[in-house]
Each structure stands twice: as C-alpha cells, then as structure tokens.
Amino acid sequence: MTTVDALPEEAPVALVYNGSTAAVMMASPFDLPEFLTGFAVSEGIVSAASDVTEISAFKHAHGYEVRGRIPDDRSEAMDARRRASVGPMGCGLCGIESLDEATAFPGTVKPMVAGLETHARAALDALNAGQKRRDQVGAMHAAGFFTDQGLIALREDVGRHNALDKLIGALAGTDVSEGAVIITSRLSVDLVQKCVRAGISGLFALSSPTRAAVELAKDTGLTLMVLRREAVVAYTDEKEDCA
C-alpha cells in the first residue's frame, strides 16, 4: 500500500521595507510579520524591533510579500545589506553582494546570565514538545528562547536562519539579556551574527559549531554551547563542559 506524507510548505517570501525589497527568501509561509521584523534586526537593517512598523503580508500567485516601514535614516543600512539573489533555505549568507558583509563584525553582547546552561536541557525538552509543525509534516527547524524560568518562545521554519529570524521578531519587547537561544541546527557564523545583533548573549545547539562561528563568538562575547548526551560543551568558556 502506498502512503502519502504531509509535506512542509516552502515558498518565496519577499521582505520589503519602505517599498524596496531587501531580500527574497525561501521560507515557510507563516509568522511572516515576525519574519520581517526579525530579519531587519538580525541583519542590522534596524537597531530595534520597534523600528519596523505598518507591517502587512500579501499572498501572490507565486509567493508571498511582507511589507513594513522603517525610519528613513535606515535606508542606507538596508541598501548595504541588500541581497542580489534568492536566499535558499540552507544558507543564510547566500546572495550577499559583498564578501565584507558576510564577515561583518556584529558588535558585542553582555555576558550570559550565570548558570543559564543548567536550564538548557529542560529548554530542549520543551522545544521538542512544542514543535507542532514538525510533528505534522517533519523537516522543520526550530529556534527557541529560554530563561531560568523555562522556554519563553518558539518558532519553526524549513530554514534554520528563518526560524531564528521569526523568533527574534517574536521577542520584540522582551529583555533578551535574561536568556539564550536554543536551535535545532549546527552553529554557523551567520547565526552568531544574528544573535549578537539582536542582543542575545547565549546560543545553544545540538551540532558542533564551525571554527569561524567559535572565533566570532569569542570576539563578540557570545556564549556558544552544544548539548551532547553526556554534557553541555562550552566552546567560548575556559571550562570544557558542564553537567
């Protein structure tokens, strides 16, 4: 007997600020207003989520468009981050016009709250339990934000970078210095950049980071950790692991 799986949706999503398209990303077509806001913050187009206003989303025959307003003085920053091509879901840096932009220093963050790593496994359990779309269709990444009080927010997407952008957008108005992100993917340099630009001090994952991600995390002050079966491995602290 042949069975047909439910499959995740993926569609082109145009992110438009002040009438100008900053990027067209292949993404899961939900939580689009948060995607627009989070992308603007994580890519350095704006400095705060509140800078993105008048958000609206539209469905077209071949994809989606999300529009918003940003301050006029941010148009130069947006032009600097403009992407020349559609960004495939697997690579958050694909399409960037300048190699300098791909390696841009995103700034620094405050130290992560002491002891927060002891709450990471509980956050991972909550992340797994909260991935409703993955349970329905599979093939979904998730990014969550947790504090010592537990998992605060979770967003899903077929692309790990998109999931993080949606999460950052969902955290508008939240004091992100009190928590950290946990994500279901390897840790790449662009995920470090996005977290730092959003003011997030800790980034946890299930897979090893790249060397470039570790080096950038050390330079920015971001705590980078991976959850192994036997320990939580720290890549940016002197301690190699913790319980």
Which residues participate in catalysis according to the annotation?
Answer: 91
- Looking at the DSSP bridge assignments, the partners of residue 63 are 60
Q: Any bridge partners for residue 12, and if so which?
A: 26
**Alpha-carbon gap, residue 236 to 71, rounded angstroms:** 36
> Residue 167, exposed/middle/buried by CB under 10 A (0-12, 13-18, 19+)?
buried
Q: Tell me the C-alpha distance between 191 and 163, whole Å.
A: 11
- Residues whose CB is less than 8 angstroms from the CB of residue 96 and which lie 6 or more positions away in sequence, other chains included: 81, 83, 84, 102
Burial of 37 (0-12, 13-18, 19+ CB in 10 A): buried
Say how far apart CA 206 and CA 187 lie, in whole Å: 9
For strands 11-17 and 63-69, give the pairing.
parallel
Distances from the Cα of 240 to the Cα of 33, 124, 226, angstroms:
39, 20, 11
State the Cα–Cα distance between residues 171 and 42, nearest whole angstrom. Answer: 12
**Could you tell me how many residues make up the chain?**
243
Residue where the block lists tokens 């108005």: 173
